[in-house]
Amino acid sequence: MTTGSAARRRHVNRTDRANRSRTANPPHALNALAVAGFVARGVTYALIGVLALAIAFGKAAPEADRTGALQAVGAQPFGTILLWLLVIGFAAMALWRLAQAGYGVDGTGHHGAAEAQAAARGVIYAVFAFGTFEFVHRNKLPQSTNQQSQDFTSTAMAHSGGRILVGIVAVVIVGIGLYMIHNGLTRAFLKDLRFAGASRKTRETVERLGMIGNTARGVVFAAVGVFMVVAAVRFDPARAKGIDATLRSFAHTPLGPWLLAVVAVGLFLFGVYSMCEAKWHRSV
């Protein structure tokens, strides 16, 4: 009986380990979704950075946001093919984030703030995917972030309590921006990476890209939120700005276009970092 009990215990232990392994490691299909999503995000931010840099140096360029990035891609040789790849990438990111919301961000099935955040990101990328599909399939360009920001502010303020709603949304956006800055400066993003087989130089390079990129992205988000706060305080929807108008406002600071150029380079580097995430993100 002792031998039989030991055998049963070994079988139970093996089963438990197998179950934990399946829980801790997402299916390969989810890995593929994550890779495609990070690449699509990386391409978009790299293009936004390039467009912003062109604006800093006085060059004619589309709006420096996702809408402008889509226009830039569509104008390239094989642009239609590239746009379809972005549709696939954004849709993949949406599915991956939504899968995280249900499966558990850390692979344990736990549902909390991290899973709620993943669900929100999934919805956002689903909107990106649909907007890109509309552009490539029907030549209907998504609204610019400038127009979206002003439309939301104007519509909200037309209703009772709308001004308070705008203020709350603005504070949330500022908070997201500050979190991104903190994430970059403290290297907190490293917890989401695994560098199995990577050299020390590679790790240091990705770390620098993450620091600069996340910080620059956070500065832009925080500034967008600040402009929305101003719009709420002054009851003036026209003061709300999207990413493009916010970036252009950097060129009118005492530092002139150089501040915009620095932020533009930072956004480009975030795009490169996002592509690195496609390879080294811990959930991939």
16-25, 163-172, 226-235: range with lowest mean pLDDT: 16-25
Tell which residue, 256, 274, 239, has the closest CA to residue 49.
Answer: 274
Tell which residue, 55, 172, 178, 62, has the closest CA to residue 120.
Answer: 172
Q: What percent of the chain has pLDDT over 90?
A: 61
**193: β partners:** 281
Confidence of residue 151 (pLDDT cuts 50, 70, 90): very high
pTM of the model: 0.85
| Comparison of pLDDT for 281 and 86, the residue scoring more | 86
Continuous H helices in the chain: 2-24, 28-56, 66-74, 79-103, 113-138, 145-157, 162-185, 200-234, 243-250, 257-280
**Tokens representing residue 70 in the block:** 């889509």
pLDDT of residue 227: 96
Tell which residue, 216, 61, 49, 36, has the closest CA to residue 128.
Answer: 36
pLDDT of residue 62: 82
Q: What percent of the chain has pLDDT over 70?
A: 87
In the chain, the amino acid numbered 229 is V
**Tally of residues, the chain:** 284
Distance, CA of 100 to CA of 187 (rounded, Å)? 23
Q: What does the H/E/C string look like for 104-118?
A: CCCCCCCCCHHHHHH
pLDDT tens digits, one per residue of 11-41 = 434 434 434 444 444 556 778 888 999 999 9
Q: Kindly tell me if the per-residue pLDDT of 209 is higher than 60.
A: yes
pLDDT tens digits, one per residue of 59-112 = 877 889 999 999 999 988 889 999 999 999 999 999 999 888 887 766 655 667
Tell which residue, 78, 94, 77, 80, has the closest CA to residue 40.
Answer: 94
Distance, CA of 12 to CA of 14 (rounded, Å)? 5
Q: Decide: residue 119, CB within 10 A, 0-12 exposed, 13-18 middle, 19+ buried.
A: middle
Q: Kindly tell me if the per-residue pLDDT of 7 is higher than 70.
A: no
pLDDT of residue 17: 44
pLDDT of residue 144: 87
pLDDT of residue 22: 42
Averaged pLDDT of the chain: 86
